[in-house]
Structure formats: structure tokens, C-alpha cells
Chain A
């Protein structure tokens, strides 16, 4: 398994932290792309093949929920696995995301939590 990952967050510090956490988690990354909002993420997804997108919810221009809608509505992006990484604490909203086939990682996160969630959503057994 090798992963091409897109990290979408309006905070550059959080993007860097998440990428470092992905590397510390031991997940096999081949390409890592970054976007500061949903619109930038869509542009990246149209230009590059991506397996996994880690998406914040609260972002300017196009938020994470709007991005998820756009990805889900585009058959060409059906292969992109979506994981929301957010401070969101409302079970109501988290369940709504899960109902749309999106997994969830809560901030603050550990490498182990990120690894477990990504492997589970990809249907890969942890070695």
C-alpha cells in the first residue's frame, strides 16, 4: 500500500502538524499535497491523483462540508477517501458526517489515532 494524501486546513501550522503526524504514524506516503480551503482542494484533486483527503470543517471560501458535497457529487473523485479532522465535538454533526461515508478524527490527535482511523476507513488490517 502507498498513499497519495491531500491535507486541507486553513491553518498552515495545523497542515504541517498533520503531515508530521502522518509521517510519525508510519503510514506509507508517496505524495502529500496541501490546500488552505475547499476550493484549493478541488483544484488539487483535479490536477493530481489522490487516495486520501484529510479535511478540516471550518475554513474560509469553501468549508469542509461544501468540499465533501462537491467530491461526493463528482464520479471522477469516487476513489478519494475522505476523513474529517476537526475540533467538532457535536455528536449530531459527527453522525451526519458518518452517514455520508466520512470518517472523523478529533483535534487534538495522536499518530496512533490518525493511523487507526485511516487504516480502518481504507479497510486495511494494521500490521
Chain B
């Protein structure tokens, strides 16, 4: 199980860092502290996927970086509306998921991605979606991104 966790965590961290940098101009590095942030949470969203395997990607941003992420994506100086912030969070999860799946399943695997769905807390999301196969934590310009991959074998 640790091998599986490691084999998924490395491409997950790479896809997340690249997406945050290229889509939202936010630079990420491995988090100094372990574990999922429990305070000052900006938002949590999950995106289901179906294909050779099925599962979900969970993304939580905390520490006040969601307004900055959304304003960077929109090219605004101030904080965007809350609906735009939620939209931006879902789109970042969508892009991370779309970029990590080929890295772990191969370039020819075909997946269908679901619609980003908000969750009230990390425990609620992980309990609803099943066991987490890999989890990465990134420090992002004063805030934090926690990302998990839930993977179930194809039925």
C-alpha cells in the first residue's frame, strides 16, 4: 500500500503544482507540515472520474488563497464574487484531475470526468467518496492546497 500511495502521490503533486502555476499563477511547494489543514478552509470540491478505474479527486484550499486564485484566473485586482471563487476552485480541480489521470493510467486510457461538487469538510468528502489512495499537501504562497485521489478498481 505505501508503494501505491507513492506511485500516485508523485504525479498528483506534479499535476497540482503545474496547474496552480499555469492556470492561476500561484507557486506551490511540498508543505512544511503534514496532514490536512483543518482551519481557515476556503473551500473543498471533489470531481468524480470513470474509466479503466473510477474514483475522485478532492481539492481543499485554505489560508485565504482561493480569492487570490480566482482573481488571478480572471485577471482582476480585487476579490471576485463567491460564485466565481467556487467556479474557479472547481475548474482547478477539473484541470488537475484531467492532467493526473493520463500520468497514472497511461496516455491512451479514456476517462469521463464528472461535475465539480462542493463538500462541507474534508472528512465528509473522504467518507462519502471512499478510501483515499494518495494524498499530497502543498504550501501555496501563504496558503495551502490539500489534494487527494480516491481510486477504486473498475467494476
Contact = CB atoms under 8 A, between A and B. Distances in A.
A91 B80 CA distance: 35
B108 A91 contact: yes
Given A13-B70, A13-B84, A108 B107 contact: no
A110 interface: yes
Contacts of A66: none
B115 interface: yes
A91 B113 contact: no
B101 interface: yes
A88 B110 CA distance: 9
Interface in B98-115: 98-99, 101-102, 107-113, 115
Interface residues of B, number: 29
Given A86-B98, A107-B23, A12 B87 contact: yes
Contacts of B107: 89-91
Contacts of B115: 58, 60
Interface stretch (A14-22, A25-33, A38-46, A117-125): A14-22
A89 B98 contact: yes
| Majority SS at the chain B contact face | helix
A87 B73 contact: no
Given A13-B70, A91-B107, A91-B108, A20 B75 contact: yes
Contact of B113 (A12, A58, A108): A58
B113 to A, nearest CB: 5
A93 interface: yes
A12 B81 CA distance: 12
B74 A108 contact: no
Interface of B: 18-19, 22-23, 70, 73-75, 80, 84, 87-88, 90-91, 94-95, 97-99, 101-102, 107-113, 115
7 contacts: A12-B87, A13-B73, A58-B94, A87-B113, A89-B101, A89-B107, A108-B23
Sorted nearest first, the 10 A-B pairs with minimum C-beta distance are: A87-B98, A89-B102, A108-B22, A108-B23, A13-B87, A91-B107, A90-B110, A13-B88, A11-B91, A92-B108
